Chain A
Amino acid sequence: MRIPILKLGKYLLISIQVELDDQTALQFQEDLLNRIHEEGSEGIVVDLTSVEMIDSYIAKIIGDVVEMSNLMGAKVVLTGIQPSVAITLVEMGVTLSGVPTALNLEQGLEKLQEELEG
């Protein structure tokens, strides 16, 4: 299974709408980094509105994606994290510290714009 990556100007938009298994998450990591490289993207929004569960391994992959993209010079904002996902992550002790987040896609794009212009 592959997660579609949409291009919007200098941004890439991703909405994860499938149950994330390990292979899909790792494939996504690779696909996204390749797209950043090909398109020269400066900002990425990963929307997690439809994701109902993130365990510690998937959280690690997501954190890694953000760090890897930063290494390449692209900023990533995670949006739409469900209340139940936020609660379980914090209770488990997974903090995803240093990862920029926003409530929804619209605010995510605004946040990226501020970061890139500021």
Chain B
Amino acid sequence: MRTQSSVEIGTEWGIVSARQAGRELSKEVGFNNVDQARIATAISELARNIYLYTDNGMIGLEVVERGCLKGIKIVSRDEGPGIENLGEAMTDGHSSSNGLGAGLPGAKRLMDEFDIESEPGKGTVITAIKWLR
């Protein structure tokens, strides 16, 4: 089993490749159908943010273990403008792209762990984990 991969999000097709890679890896790890959809959807939201707000970035996927837990870790990394107001970006219904404003808060709810590090001008790193139950 491949335990690590990364997908460049330069074009819109990167969004599709990233979520397909995520679905495949989560299937290999043993996630059920619903969790596969949760993981693929969260990846799609994160990859779309990279595509919309930055020139380029990548989605990294990794199989992780903590004690007897096994899971999948998604890392979204970009060198874009950063998120100025994290609280606002994590608020339901707030959209700076004319979307539904469900992107970041939605992705957080689909995953078990969710962490954002962002500095204006220096980019954003989002780390999210889903554990196998």
Q: A residues near B, CB below 8 A? A: 19, 21-23, 52-57, 59-60, 82-85, 87-88, 91-94
Contacts and interface: CB of A to CB of B under 8 A. Distances in A.
B11 to A, nearest CB: 10
Contacts of A60: 99-100
Given A21-B16, A84-B33, A53 B40 contact: yes
Nearest to B37: A84
B127 interface: no
Q: Is the interface of B mostly helix, strand, loop or mixed?
A: helix
Interface of B: 12-13, 15-16, 19-20, 23, 33-34, 36-38, 40-41, 44-45, 48, 92, 99-103, 105-107, 109-110
Contacts of A21: 12-13, 15-16
B15 A56 contact: no
15 contacts: A21-B13, A23-B12, A53-B23, A54-B41, A55-B19, A55-B45, A57-B99, A60-B100, A84-B34, A87-B34, A88-B110, A92-B106, A93-B102, A93-B109, A94-B102
Contacts of A19: 16, 20
A92 B34 contact: no
Nearest to B36: A84
A82 B38 CA distance: 13
Given A19-B20, A84-B33, A94-B100, A57 B48 contact: yes
Nearest to A53: B40
Contacts of A22: 12, 15
B45 A52 contact: no
Contacts of A83: 33-34
A11 to B, nearest CB: 29
B110 A59 contact: no
